[in-house]
Amino acid sequence: MRTVIFDLDGTLADTSGDLLAAANHCFRDMGHGDVLVHGDDAAVALRGGRMMLTHGLKRVDAYEAATVDQYYPVLLDAYAQAIDHHTEFYPGALEAVETLKAAGYGVGICTNKPERLADLLLTRLGVRGAFASLIGADTLPVRKPDPEPLREAARRAGGDPALCVLIGDSDTDRNTARAAGVPSVLVTFGPSGADMAALQPEALLDHFDDLPGLVPGLIGQAA
């Protein structure tokens, strides 16, 4: 079976609002107040919890690696408590997933979000069952851009890892697909969308309505 594997944060859904809220919970606990700004810091949020803590602490001239380590589990707990308050799927994302499934493709997720949080988010949003596989940052001993999480996501979705495409929003996704020898499609509607063309993916995606038409010409194409 041919498979379409999606990144989650910044690709299928804009999760930045809930991520930034969790980081600001930590900064308030440190006595800095709300350091990161909803909207303005969306791209930072989609780089993960440690990046948010690092960026925010540098902004207030209080960065220490030990502080990031100390507050990372606090951030994860705060995020889990309010994981779906602001998160929204990008327009057409879920419709594209269903169209691809109806056309016979296996569909899964390969994310660098911890698996339990990705599973919790998708479950809270009522769409966990839409995806045949879910590989998180800690599902395997390695994470993206190592190619094995992508390959495993394809396998668990019932597919051949050599016959898949990765839909993502970052250099991490581009490098993962390249390492796996499969094509990538990078979305242009996320916070870093203007930077995607420079990564030279096999295709750029301006709207999910266009994805089902792109996929047949990509899968099986060497990256």
Nearest to 133 by CA among 100, 114, 155: 155
Kindly write down the DSSP assignment for every residue of 51-102, as one continuous string: HHHHHHHHHTT---HHHHHHHHHHHHHHHHHTTTSS-EEPTTHHHHHHHHHH
- Single out the catalytic residue among 7, 18, 169, 173: 7
Which residue in 71, 73, 63, 67 sits closest to 26, CA to CA? 71
- Residue at token pair 């930072």: 44
Q: Are 210 and 93 in contact (CB under 8 A)?
A: no
CA nearest to 223, candidates 189, 192, 186 = 186
- Of 182, 107, 106, which Cα lies nearest the Cα of 148? 182
Single-letter code of the amino acid located at 7: D
What are the distances in angstroms from CA 48 to CA 29, 101, 152, 177, 188?
19, 29, 22, 20, 19
With b for 16 or more beta-carbon neighbours within 10 A and e for fewer, the 102-138 pattern comes to eeebbbbbbbbbbbebbbbbbeebebeeebbbbbbbe
173 labelled catalytic:
no
Q: Which residues are tagged catalytic?
A: 7
